[in-house]
Amino acid sequence: MSTENTASLLRIATAGSVDDGKSTLVGRLLHDTKNILVDQLEAIERVSQSRGLDSADLALLTDGLRAEREQGITIDVAYRYFATPARSFILADCPGHVQYTRNTVTGASTADALIVLVDVVHGIVEQTRRHLAVAALLGVPHLIVAVNKIDLVDDAHGAFEALDRDLHALADELGVLDLQTIPVSALRGDNVVEPSESTPWYTGPSLLGWLENLPDSSELTQAEHFALPVQTVIRPQSAAVSPEFTDYRGYAGQVASGSVAVGDEVTVQPAGRRTTVTRLDVAGEPAERAVAGESVTLSLADQIDITRGDLIAEPAGAPSGSKTVEAVVCWLDDEKPLREGQRVLLKHTTRVVRGIVGSLDGRLNLESLAAESVDEFELNDIGRVSIRVAEPLFTAAYTQSHALGSFLLIDPQSGRTQAAGMVQDDSVATPGVLGNLRADAGEWAI
């Protein structure tokens, strides 16, 4: 292994509303960690000058599309890569104004940490509630609220403390897993990379300092039960790369949770058969053990009919099949609402099945945080549904396994991705906003 590049990787996402300085914050983070190269900096200095600005507008670093630069807005999720001596980062920068939930859900679904920007002058706005609700729904392990523009208020300390109290109260109500608030000025760089001298009353970490010290959340996934959704069956026969592999038969997939070793007993679903792992290859090389996140190929002791979409799992935690899925969905389709009786395709792990929406069981009202009864879900709505599917799915509650508890809804005609779905299991106590969205729409249930 190389020594240079073994630092752990953290995936983060940023979300904010219009004009709260998110692009500036991201630009500041990249600039102050010296991840901007000379030609990139020169290019934005040129454009800033031609617009009559005194200093380089760091927002231009992330606004890459022609329309974004012309209109001074951010349209789509942009991915940025930067590194510090401590760790590498993949940053999904999610714009706030159009298709906001859609973008935030996209960024947050893969994030270890979500950074939400709040403008200290405006305080908690609807977007803030929405972003915090998305963080809670998607179970993002760490939420950071960067309270921005503290250089613009007279009593920054008092304003920050009041906002900090309100944010923690809201986060608790929603069921956010972990919240840290940090006062920043993206424009001046206060508390972004280095702790600032202009906020002597704040003794916490800078934004970067916090991010560098967050624990690697993949450890939690490794501690779950082993599960491997089969992507493809590898059976080279006479075409094998070498004659010794003509009889090779392996089931390929990415370990979704837990770990697996040669000799482990496993259950295969939907066949319902038990067998033993006889061989394990990780990225094309033999191995004794593999953990969540690794792409592997397993060989098994018994001849079992296994195809793409099947699940190989640890017997103790193997989910049982069901043809009904109870779930919370974020509706992301701007062309078509979701209604009862609608036909959809559902992609769960590596399996795509046909489904019919049985019932809409309540939409989340972001003001009251209660469920309200509606006939359809529109773009950005979050609500509870029941879906009947053509073949059994082997799911787990999303709060227990993101890999076995997440799914997409896809429009059968156009192929558009319409919804992000999170499987609910009412026998498992679910705190916060997810627990409020019960089948009995309109009821406050905690």
Partner 1 sequence: MRDPPVSTTSPLTRSTPSAVTLSQLQRLEAESIHIFRETASEGERPVLLFSGGKDSVVMLHLAAKAFWPAPIPFPVLHVDTGHNFPEVLDFRDRTVERLHIRLKVASVQDYIDDGRLAERPDRTRNQLQTVPLLDAITEGRHDVVYGGARRDEEKARAKERIISLRDEFGQWDPRNQRPELWSLYNTRHRPGEHVRVFPLSNWTELDIWSYITEKGIDLPSLYYAHERDVLSRDGMWLAVGEHVGPREGESVETRTVRYRTVGDMSCTGAVESPAATAQDVLAEVMTSTLTERGATRADDRVSEAAMEDRKREGYF
Per CB under 8 A, contacts with partner 1 among 116-155 are 142
The answer to whether the bond into 215 is cis (omega within 30° of 0) is no
Q: CA–CA separation, 420 vs 61, rounded Å?
A: 30
Provide the token pair at 227.
């599960």
Q: How far apart are CA 69 and CA 290, in angstroms?
A: 45
Residue 335 CB, nearest approach to partner 1 (Å): 10
Residue holding tokens 């094998």? 240
Choose which of 164, 216, 391, 425 interacts with partner 1 (CB under 8 A): 216
CB 93 → partner 1: shortest distance, Å? Answer: 9
DSSP characters for 242-297? SGGGTT--EEEEE--BSEEETT-EEEEETTTEEEEEEEEEETTEE-SEEETT-EEE
The 3-state DSSP class for residue 319 equals coil
322 binds partner 1 per the rule CB under 8 A:
no
- What does the per-residue mask of binding to partner 1 show for 409-428, with x meaning CB under 8 A? -x--xxxxx--x--------
Assign residue 72 a region (left: φ > 0; alpha: ψ between -120 and 50; beta: otherwise).
Answer: left
Q: Considering only residues 43, 86, 356, 439, which one is a binding residue for partner 1 as defined by CB under 8 A?
A: 43
With a CB cutoff of 8 Å and minimum separation 6, the contacts of 211 are 10, 12, 87, 89, 113, 144
For residue 440, the minimal CB distance to partner 1 (Å) is: 25
Binding residue for partner 1, selected from 97, 122, 157, 347, defined by CB under 8 A:
347
Residue number, 422 or 437, with CB nearest to partner 1: 422
316 touches partner 1 by CB under 8 A? yes
Q: Counting Cβ atoms within 10 Å, is residue 438 exposed (0-12), middle (13-18) or buried (19+)? A: buried
Residue 77 token pair: 């999720």
Q: Which stretch binds partner 1 (CB under 8 A): 149-157, 270-278, 290-298, 387-395?
A: 290-298
Q: Please, what is the minimum distance in Å from the beta carbon of residue 444 to partner 1?
A: 26
Instruction: Name the residue among 268, 247, 253, 208 with its Cα closest to residue 29.
Output: 208
Residue 407 as a binder of partner 1 (CB under 8 A): the answer is yes
Minimum distance of partner 1 from residue 377's CB (angstroms) = 15
How far is the C-alpha of 348 from the C-alpha of 341, rounded, in Å? 20
Strand partners, 277: 300
- Show contacts with partner 1 in window 240-269 (CB under 8 A): 240-242, 245, 248, 252-254, 258-259
Read off φ and ψ for residue 268, nearest 5 degrees: -110, 125
Min dist CB 370 to partner 1, Å, is 26
Beta strand segments in 365-405, E:
371-372, 376-377, 382-393
DSSP state of 239: G
13, 56, 176, 291: which one binds partner 1 (CB under 8 A): 291
Looking at beta carbons only, is 162 or 261 nearer to partner 1?
261
Should residue 48 be labelled a site residue for partner 1 when binding is judged by CB under 8 A?
no
Joined tokens for residue 437: 């969205």
Which x/- pattern, by CB under 8 A, does the window 1-40 give for partner 1?
xx-xxxxxx---------------------------xxxx
* Candidate segments 122-130, 146-154, 203-211, 377-385, binder of partner 1 by CB under 8 A: 203-211
Tokens of 58: 């760091």
Q: Which of residues 59-88 bind partner 1 (CB under 8 A)?
A: 62-67, 69, 75-81, 83, 88
Structure tokens at 74: 């951010």
Residues 359-388 that bind partner 1 (CB under 8 A): none
Report, in Å, the least distance between residue 195 CB and partner 1: 11
The region of 128-136, 153-161, 237-245, 375-383 touching partner 1 under the rule CB under 8 A is: 237-245
Read off the amino acid at residue 79. Y
| Part in contact with partner 1 (CB under 8 A); list of ranges 24-32, 155-163, 267-275, 405-413 | 405-413
Beta carbon of residue 232, minimum distance to partner 1 (angstroms, whole number): 5
User: Of 128 and 181, which has the nearer Cβ to partner 1?
Assistant: 181
Angle at the Cα of 184 from the Cα atoms of 92 and 112, rounded to 5 degrees = 30
